[in-house]
Structure 1
């Protein structure tokens, strides 16, 4: 947001973090927790930035039980480092959040940004078994536990997922992990237009049991991914090699799918996670996504649809608040919503918040963070 904190700290342990947050709360100081700093442009502009708190000092794997498919990590643990550790045991955390695996485990929960696997694999909130959160008072609360069959207490970890730290600082999380797929394969098929591409994608959705990602690209998005500049259907298959080969054969009977570079997904993830770009994300029914993508193209933007959740991601060049509101109006007309994922602070100030139950949100904040100590102004009525 262009703001500079009055001071910056990197607590080396949870006790120091709790003390720091408690003192800030007592003195009315605004705390901004940070991990990899990949999503600082998400949400509304900050209303205060007294202390930057880097959670990189809390980066340990607390407990990993491969036989139970569970792992407990501190919030500052980088996703890439965790994936490397899990891979040694033939496992992984099935999450592909933007922009890349440099994100921290606490950050991916606090932001809950969906990737290309959303809708085919569990969302981040569905992979959490337990969580520990530092409250502004300096106390800590736990929800869930470290074993799959734990059913103790309220399911509060879902409240903290996607809340941008509004109810406390995530310091530890326990995840369910999964066996690492034996193989993966990326395929692509060209279509004459976005409507035809979406129809093909919907047929593809029903044709393969090993889909891990299914995306419709506009011409400019295809170019961004290193493909021919035309409407494209991009598919990722993951699982047993025999099942992948069978699915590839089945898909070839539907359309002329060809192998595509696996790096296409990474290029799109990086673009979506680039905080220097203006990125919006909309949710509509999959059958309505071509209409919204066409509006994105008319605005000179680059976009794609993750078919399973009906999520349209659009990168807009030099947008105005009016242009974003126009796209939001179209999404709402189609029965959905639109939110700003990243944009310059001044533009985010000009865009009206999405309608929602702000009374409930503020009541929850009054309960957990009455002084708005953590990420002041950033979350509440979301963009």
Structure 2
């Protein structure tokens, strides 16, 4: 796939991993990039200054050893605070700032952040303008992620897209659902196509991209410049190389070797423990392990077992032993159907794609 330029930033390809709270931390972003993602945006960082020193925010703002363009998503409801948050993250290494107008979670929308801002167009535009005013002199592009609207009766993505472009936003990602829908039903791509027709800046299509063939269909339906994959990458981070290869060649890659998945997951766990420490690392790794083994022989039993394990070494060994046994049963993982990824647990974890 051809690279994509966003101002001075050049992204190596056009298949991106979506920012997802509780998922796209530094270890996961690093893994997705290793497996073919051309762009990876951080979990959203709050614009509330009093929370910047919290452990959660300090982890999200930690980019030590991160490869590729460092892109940080910021969330908030005050234009001046959002501008300050952009500067704060640039000082900590951010090379691209993304504004969150897409998160549908109640705990975010109840504070009028995320997709709730689509109901207040003047405020959303003021935030975009303030963030661009801080970032542009530093040569840092500003992108924005939004939904098609707040509800079926209030779809305003097209008119907002035009005004965001005028405000200096340099790339737009559109999730093909309203906030009202959350993750229910199927993503609709006609609004994304209309946004693409309305602006000259790159447009990224997001929502229900579950594999290579669906990726090609979404590109054809929307005319988008790039694709963003969220929930389908949970436990299947090699989806990025699968999609990129298929779009380049029209050929599907074979599923990964069990031995490769074992190596990837064990390395991912070590990186995860290093960031979060023993106790939090063990707890927060459980969902990743469960996603990796979902639908595999003995996967449910492993999930139940690791939910009781309290030490990282024991958790790591349990995963290693499971995949060593699986290697004796199969050489490669079974080919996955292009169906929506497991999402109920993801939503409960506060994941936003």
TM-score where L is the length of structure 2:
0.28
Specify which structure has the bigger relative contact order, considering alpha-carbon pairs within 8 angstroms and separated by 6 or more residues: 1
Q: Per residue, is there more strand in 1 or in 2?
A: 1
Find the structure with the greater CA-based Rg.
1
Q: Per residue, is there more helix in 1 or in 2?
A: 2
TM-score where L is the length of structure 1:
0.26
